[in-house]
Structure 1
Amino acid sequence: MPVTIDRTTSSRRAPPQPVRLSLTPAPGGLDGMWWPRSRALTRELPTLMAALVDHWGRITGVTVHPAYWPVVPHHVSVAGRTVRVGWSIQAQDPHRLTLSLPDGQHRDVLVIPPETGAEAAAQLMADGGGDAPAREEATDGFDARIREEAWESDGGAGRPSFLSRPIGSTGPSPAGRRR
Structure 2
Amino acid sequence: MRPRLYLAGPEVFRPDAAAEGERLKCLCREAGLEGLYPLDGQGDDIRRNCIDRIAQADGLVANISPFRGHHMDPGTAFEIGYAQALGKPVFIWSNERRPLAERIAAATPARDADGHLIEDFGKPENLMIVPDGHTVWAGPEEAIHEAARVLSFGVKNRALQRQVRRSVLFAATVSLALALAAGMVANRLIGW
Task: Provide TM-score, normalisation by structure 2.
Answer: 0.25
Tell me which structure has the larger Cα radius of gyration.
2
Q: Which has the higher helix share?
A: 2
Q: Which has the higher strand share?
A: 1
